Every structure is written in C-alpha cells, then in structure tokens.
Amino acid sequence: MILTVMIIVGICFVIGVFLGFASIKFKTQSDPIVEKIDKILPQTQCGQCGYPGCKPYAQAIADGSADINQCPPGGDDGIHKLADLMGVDYKPLNDEHGITKEKAVAIIDEDTCIGCTLCIQACPVDAILGAAKQMHTVIEKECTGCELCLPPCPVDCIIMEPVGETAESWKWKYPVTSIKQVR
Amino acid sequence: MNIFNKLSFHGGIKPQGNKNISTKNPIKKIFIPDMLILPLRQSVGKAPKLIVSEGDYVLKGQQLAKPSSNLSVGIHAPTSGYIKRIAMHPVPHPSMLNEECIFLEPDHKDQWIKKKVIDYKNLKLEEVLEQLRQNGLVGMGGATFPTHIKASSKIETLIVNAAECEPFITCDDMALREKTEEFLTGVDIAMHILGAKKAIIGIEDNKQEAITELQKKNQNSKIEIKIIPTVYPSGDEKRLLFLVSGLKIKKMDRPSNHGFQIFNVGTLISIARLFIHGEPVISRVVTFTGNLKQPNNFEALIGTPIKYFLNDCGIKEGDHQIIMGGPMMGFELQNSEITVTKSMNCVLIKRNETQSKDTSIMPCIRCSRCVEVCPAELQPQELYWFSKSKQFEKTLDYKLFDCIECGCCSYVCPSNIPLVSYYRYAKSEIRSEEISGERADIARDRNEFRLFRLDREKTERAERNAQRRAQIPDAEKKKLIEEKKAAIDMALKDKEEI
Amino acid sequence: MISSPIIKESDSVSFVMSHVFFALIPSLLIYIYFFGYGILGNLIFGVTLGVLFEYLCLKLRNISAKPFLLDGSTIVTCWLLIISIPSGSPWWIILIGVFSAIVIAKHIYGGLGSNIFNPAMIGYAILLISFPAMMTNWEVSNSLGLNNFLNLKNLFNLFHVQLISNIDAVSSATPLDNIKTYLFLNADNLNPNNFPNYEIFNPRSIINISYFAGGLYLLHKKIISWHLPITLIITVILFSSFMSLIDANKFMGPIHHLLNGAVILGAFFILTDPVTSPTTKRGKIIFAILIGIITLTIRNFGGYPDGIAFAVIFMNIWVPLIEKFTQPKVFGY
C-alpha cells in the first residue's frame, strides 16, 4: 500500500519537474495581448469607442475595463475576431457608440475654407495638408474616415463622401446557392 | 510524363469541343459601327492617361491615351473620327460596373496616321520595349498583361500558346489558318527581342487545318511545332510549360526564371503588325458562337458594341445570356451594348434552359472526383470546406492561390456545388483583408508619429520655458509673483462684490 | 448572375448509385436462389423504413426532402445493412438496425456528407452487440435451389419470431461462426479437410464471389478507385498467409478468409463509402491496410467471428488524421 502511494507520488514528481522544465525551456515569445487586439482594430482612430484612439481601447479591452462591442468601424467582423481572441461570447455592436457606416473620406470645400488649421489639429493621422491662412486639403489616401475634423471646422466646409465600389475594388460575393433549406 | 511517354498532366477534363460550329466560314472582315466606345483600362495595371479631349479629330492609329506607369500601355483610335465625349459606360467585367470610356464617332473615312516600319533589329532593347508599351501591346489570350514587361527578360525558348483548350473558342485557330505568314513573322521578331534560340508552338491535336498550314508555311528551322493532346486546360501557362518542357513550376514562379516565355497567337500577330507595318493594337479576332444561327469569327475593331456582331450572326429565339469568354471560365455580360476590348476572345450566347434537370445543390459527399481532375493537383474539397466556413488561413495552407479557376472541379462535382465561386470569394476576401491590413498599419504608424510629434513639441516648449525662467534673476521673479497675487486678489474681491 | 463553369458533366449522385445497384442485384438473385425470398422481404421492408426515416429526419431539420430521397444513398445504406443480417430476422430487428443507421449514425451527425461513421456498419454493430444470439441465427440453404424462386412463403419471414428450428426453417451459424466455436472447444487441430460439414464452395462463398464480380464491375465503370478494395484484399491475403504459415492448425488460410465472411463485400461496397473514407490515395491505402489487420486480429484472436464492422468503425475515427498526414504535393512544389 505504502509502496503504491510512493510510486504514484514519485511519478507525479517526475512529471511536475518535466512540466516545469518545459515551461521555461520551450517558452514561445508571442505578442502581448494588447498588440494582438490592436492588430484586429481598424485603426480609424475615431474615438467612437470612448477612448482617444485604437491603442487605448485595445489596452482597455486587455484590462477588462471595456467591452468588445464598442467599435463601429470594425463592424460585426471585428467583434467576432475580438471574441475569438479574448475567448468571450460574441455580442452585437453597442449602438450607443455609433453605427457601422460605409467607408468614406473627408473632402474640404476649397471655396469655403478659411485656413484656420483647427481641422489639421484634430486629424489623428495627420491626413490634412495645410498651414495657417493657407488652403487646407485632405490627402485622400491617408484619410481613415474618422470624421473628427467635422466638428472643429467653424465654417462647416468638410463633407464625408462615400468611397463606393470600383471595378478594381470589387469583391466576389459569398456564393448564395439555391439552398436546399425550405423554411 | 508517364512511362508510356504520353504527354499529360494530372487531371483535366475532355468536354465537348463544339468548335466546328464557328469554323465553317473564314474570319469576317472589319466593319465600322456608328460609335466606338473604348474603355480606358484594358490591361492589367493602371489605366493610361488621356491625351485627347472632347471635340478633337483623331486619325486611325493615333494615340488617345498614353501609359501612366510602367505597368500601363497606350490606347489608340481604331478608326478616324471625332471624340464625342469621355464618360462612364459599362465595361466587360464580372462586377458589371461602369468605368471611364472614350466615345469616338467614326467619320467612315478610315484615314491612317503616318505609319512607319520600325527597324527593330537596329534598336536597343529599351527602345523596342518602349515601342511595345506606347503602342498598346498586351497579351491577347484574355489576361492582358503588358507585353513590354514579358518581353524584357532574356530567355532560351519561346513557347507559343496555340492550345486554345476551352470549348467553343476558335479565334486563335482561325487566325493561324488565315494569318499564318504574319504569325510566323511575329514569332521571328519575338525570338529576336527575347534573344531566344528556338521557338516551340504548342498546338492541340484538334486543329488539323492550322497544323497543316503551319507545317506548309514554316521555313524557319528554329520554330518547332509540338502537337499536344486535346485536354482542358492544356492552354494554362504552367500546364503548357509542363507539356512542352516537362518543367513544373509553382504559382509564384515565372517561366522566364527558367529560360522560357509564353506568348499567345494573337499577341504575336499584333507584334508583327507593329514592327512591319507600324500599326498599334486597334483590332482583334473575336469568336461569336453558341446559340446563334450562324456562329462566326470576326476581325473586330476595339470599341465596337457586340450587338452588331450578334445581329449579324442572328440570335436564335428564346431567353439567353451573354457570356464573355468560354463556357468554363467566362463571366456574364449585362447587355449587348458592351464593346469589344483587347481581352475579349469570345462571346458565347447561352440559352436559358428550362429546369429539366435537377440542379439543386447537394452537400459534398467527399467523392474526391474534383481531386482527380484538378490540374494544379490541389485538394478542391478541402478548399471548399474551408472557404465555406470562412477559415481563410487554412485555405492558404492548402495553397488556395495556386488555383487557376479553370472550373474542372465544378464540372465534375456530382453534387452540383459551384466550387470555383467559393474559391473566388475566398481569394477576394484574403486580398481585401491584406489591403485593409496594410492601410491600417499605415494609419497606425501615422497616429503613433502624431502622438510622438505632439509629445515632442510639448517637451520642447517646456524646455524653452524652463530656460527662459532660469534666465530671469530671483528678485524679478519675486516681483512678478507678487504682482500676479495682487491681480488675483483683486479679481476675487470683484467677484465677491458681484 | 450565373457563375462559370456553365457546362457540366452528366454524372450525379443518383447516377453513381444506380451503378452500385447494378453491382448488387446479381448477388441478390443468387441469395434468393440459395436461401429463398426471406431476404427480399427484409429488403423491401428495410428500404421502405429507411426512406421513411430519412424523410422524417429531413422534415424535422426543415430541409427539402426530394433531392435527398432521389439520390439513392439511403437505399444503398439500408441494402448493405440488410444483407449483413440473417434473413430470418424479425421485423423489429430490422427496425432497430435501420433506425440506428439512418437516424443515429447519419442524421444526428449532420446528414449526407457529414457523418463520421459508416451508417450501415453502425447499424450492424448496434444489432450485433444488443442481440448477439439473433445475429448468429442464419438460415440454412435448401438443396432445392431453383425452386426457391417459386417458394414465396419465406417472403414474410420477418414477421415470424423463429428462434427454434423446425423442418421448414432450420437455422445455423455461418462457417466462420462454426470455426470459431470449434476452435474454442478443441483448440488443437484445425484442418479444413477434417472440418465437419465444411465445403470451400458453400452457398455463402458463392455469394461472396458474386460480390467480387459486382466490385469488378464498379472498378471498370470507375465508380470506385482500386486503392481501397485491392489493398484490403491483398492485406487479408498476406496477413492470413503469414498467420497460417506460423501455425496452420490454428489459423485459416487466405482463401478461407476471403471466401467466408464480409471481406469482399466490405472491400468493394462498405469501405468505399466516400463520406467516411479518406480522400487521398495514400490515405486510402493506409486505411485499408489497417482495417485488414484489425479484421484479421478480431477474427483470429478476438471474440467475434467477423471483425469487419468493428474494424471499419474504429478506422473511421482516424480518417481526418490520416488525411492530414497524407496530403499530396501541389503542382510545382
């Protein structure tokens, strides 16, 4: 009887030592969770989630102080990916933070612009070119569609224009087959 | 090659050719319609830049748009006339969207610009390639890859793709029968540009007349005719390379890395026309076939609406769909206002069949027929399961991008599953995710730099202030502080009084 | 919007299944020749029940039933199950077997294309384990062969519960059963020439030969590929030759293993079920070899006279793993 107990304890000890050794020797270097979350977020830097940018929101999700369904530009797809990563259940987008809109870019009406630089200071990715008393213009390629430049403009000369689908950006759709389902 | 020394690659199918319905008559000559609509973007890469505007009069062969980058070629007027307008118009693309097109109204005088023979033998390679680029030469097999890029590598063997493996299409076959000398001249010129020591024409064995013509008219001992068995898709670049040379290369690799280059019959004919006659690409042979009274091949001006040809052939009664390309890889066109482009090799009219057969889509039973016919030796049923469940990383493990979308798998599937649609969807999604990932990375970097810049400005300002304050002597500092205190007290007293 | 390709080969699932029927019908006729119409009654009852269960399951899952019922896969499953059980089985055995095969093994796992285990084998295994006595209650062939075609009496065997033999329906065990029992009783001397009442070409071996002919027909029509059946047969031959070389008195030789039991039926009809067998060529060979080894192990050392069903079910578990490790190289890599 004693022998049995001793053998079992001995085996457990050996396995424990091996596991400890393996956890140190074979440890893999992986990104911290904040980087992984940030990689999923769309980098619009719009602040609709309630945090000043995507990195702080990623930090908050990692800390547990924010929920995963606060990012409208990321859409449903983004929430699913976050749910998979964090190991929590999917939940639909929280409407209080906004709705998912079509991708759009900001356009400044050059006739109305007064050159006040307020929008330049607001843009989180420095996508507006200009200087005081000089014409301002949005660099279309860099604009993320975050709409942060719209409120500061004193003459309301910025509009959001949807990008739309061109033959180059067109995607094949998921095949909708004549499903055998009869509902 | 297997032990019986028979030329074959893994898989492939042998559908009904239906080729002889459109080869009864010779290629019909060009005719000029009332309006030519030329899309600006007719090749892989960037659309060329317009150099004409509304109201301009242009001559036949005059350049209308010049290449805007290295991966771009010019567009030329197919006939003389006036530029009516530059506007959006439907283009032949599976998205059925509109793109910018040049509307050219012919004056029916068909006047050429001054043409000149190009002495390619005495030009430097860069000048020859620039000629190809400016004159709009692209691959005429349907892929429209700019020829000047393909012709820029030095190779040993030029392979001519005369396979034309897809059913119904016969434009290359008829071009070989009727324009044999021009074609052989084109092969010669291409061999000179590429520095090739020999050329092999890979042609399927169902094109007996073309083979006879070639054998009769070929005087060049460096050009060899290799007859390959009629299997679809033997005309695919990598499969043809394997049949002709025994070399198996993967998707990312190029034949030019191994001393080969593959050109289409139509491309070589346009090379001959350019260097011998000075003509840019303004027309091509197109097969109009399918449910027509008289299917035929036409020498069509780029920009001609296809309705002219369809009316000439006579569409049979009943509902039909217009397919551009062949029955295996073609896509639907929205109407017959679409115009001929450099990539259009065939227009197929398909009758809408009444539902006589049961074509409901059943679940996959893993019969692996698709594996048996896949020419790229992939596992289509695995790609199907993963594309369907949107597990895109797994599709990459199974080499999704090596799929050439030939359609052999969908052809044999007993459960009627549209396999190729799933692969196209998966590829689209992966590509667009990559693109949006790249943009997100750029946005993240810009945001981080902005935060860094603001931080830096703050520290610089704080430093400057600290420096300035350090320069002021102590007694002055005390005076400043007392003055400020008095001002604050007064302000507070005022507030109390109010 | 229609998508390419717009032309299709004419084969469909039901076309494939019709060839399988062609291959099975001669065996059915020979079966009736030797054993009477009992099997036909079972078949009609079993197939009708199978189709009914399939219809009910599809309706419960809100799926349109017509294409599934017409494709013939249910009929083949029930057919394979019915010919594996004694033709004297009562109707409730058939009911339980078909229920296990269609509802439990097929629909609960997701229906056509999604089942992990071979439905016919699950049905057979559940019956074998739950009613072992009945599963060894095989009918005896009458010596009046051709007259069996005229004797419709046996058609309704399934509605009689006959465990005890009488003059009309004498029951016995299969040769494999007999040999197994004999081995347990006196383990020393097994010589087929001395074995009581055993001929090499008994009715069951002739039926097995007809399954072989049917299988060759399927191979010729390219309905199945050679990897599974030929590998299984070769494995059985090699392994049993090896065992009988070691001790011919304890282990039967290859001919006996092939002609008795369900190896031939398994090789051409059961293993080749596309849903539950590997899709890669090397995978199929590994699958068949392991099934052959396990079957012979069960036959020689295990408790059951015929191990095909358990071998198949056990190997079905490993199919995804086998597929993962036997992926062939893509063109150009």
What ipTM was assigned to the predicted interfaces of this complex? 0.86
Phi-psi region of B406 (alpha: psi -120 to 50; beta: other; left: phi over 0): alpha
User: Is the backbone peptide bond immediately before C5 cis, with ω within 30 degrees of 0?
Assistant: yes
User: B112: Cβ–Cβ under 8 A, 6 or more apart, which residues?
Assistant: B59, B60, B61, B80
The 10s digit of each residue's pLDDT in A97-127 is: 888 888 899 999 989 899 889 999 999 999 9
φ, ψ dihedrals at A5, nearest 5°? -60, -45
**Nearest by Cα to B373 from B494, B233, B255, B474:** B233
pLDDT at C148 > cutoff 70:
no
- Region B86-101: mean pLDDT is 92
Report which residue type is found at C166: N
Report which residue type is found at A2: I
Phi-psi region of B359 (alpha: psi -120 to 50; beta: other; left: phi over 0): alpha
Report CB contact under 8 Å: A183, C64. Answer: no
**Nearest by Cα to B278 from B478, B27, B61:** B61
Pair B39, B341: CB distance under 8 Å = yes
The 10s digit of each residue's pLDDT in B31-52 is: 899 999 999 999 988 899 999 9
CA distance B230 to B163: 8
pLDDT at C198 > cutoff 80:
no
CA B294 from centroid of its chain's CA atoms: 30
Chain B contact set for A172 (CB, 8 A): 94, 421, 424-425, 427-428
Min Cα–Cα distance to chain C from A173, Å: 11
Q: How confident is the model at residue B143 (pLDDT cuts 50, 70, 90)?
A: confident
CA distance B417 to B362: 7
Three-state DSSP class for B142? Answer: coil
- The whole-number pLDDT of residue B3 equals 45
CB atoms within 10 A of CB C85: 23
User: A126: Cβ–Cβ under 8 A, 6 or more apart, which residues?
Assistant: A120, A142, B446, B449, B450, B453
Phi-psi region of B399 (alpha: psi -120 to 50; beta: other; left: phi over 0): left
CA B94 from centroid of its chain's CA atoms: 12
CA gyration radius, chain C: 20
Chain A residue closest in CA terms to B424: A172
- The whole-number pLDDT of residue B317 equals 85
A38 CB near a chain B CB, below 8 Å? yes
- The whole-number pLDDT of residue C155 equals 67
Question: Which of B95, B395, B436 should one mutate to test binding to chain A, selecting the residue with the greatest count of A CBs within 10 A?
Answer: B95
Chain A contact set for C64 (CB, 8 A): 180-182
Q: How confident is the model at residue B226 (pLDDT cuts 50, 70, 90)?
A: very high
Report CB contact under 8 Å: A180, C63. Answer: yes
Pair B411, C8: CB distance under 8 Å = yes
Burial class (CB in 10 A: 0-12, 13-18, 19+), B97: middle
Percent with pLDDT over 90 in chain C: 48
- The whole-number pLDDT of residue B39 equals 94
Percent with pLDDT over 70 in chain C: 82
Report CB contact under 8 Å: C280, B379. Answer: yes
In this complex, the residue of B424, B444, B451 whose CB is nearest that of residue A43 is B444
- Between B289 and C86, residue with greater pLDDT: B289
CA distance C151 to B123: 96
Structure token pair of residue A32: 């911290």
**Nearest by Cα to C258 from C275, C236, C243:** C236
Q: How many inter-chain contacts (B to C, CB under 8 Å) are there?
A: 119
pLDDT at C199 > cutoff 70:
no
> Which of A159-168, B258-267, C122-131, C137-146 has the lowest average pLDDT?
C137-146
In this complex, the residue of A43, A166, A167 whose CB is nearest that of residue B443 is A43
> Which of A167-171, B279-283, B330-334, C116-120 has the lowest average pLDDT?
A167-171
CA distance B233 to C86: 51
**Nearest by Cα to B168 from B63, B301, B378, B21:** B21
Structure token pair of residue B454: 């603001």
* Biggest alpha carbon–alpha carbon distance for chain A: 95
CA distance B214 to B224: 10
C226 CB near a chain B CB, below 8 Å? no
Pair C85, C131: CB distance under 8 Å = no
DSSP letter (8 states) at residue A172: P
C320 CB near a chain B CB, below 8 Å? no
**Nearest by Cα to B257 from B365, B354, B155, B326:** B155
Chain C residue closest in CA terms to A175: C3
* Biggest alpha carbon–alpha carbon distance for chain C: 74
B156 CB near a chain C CB, below 8 Å? no
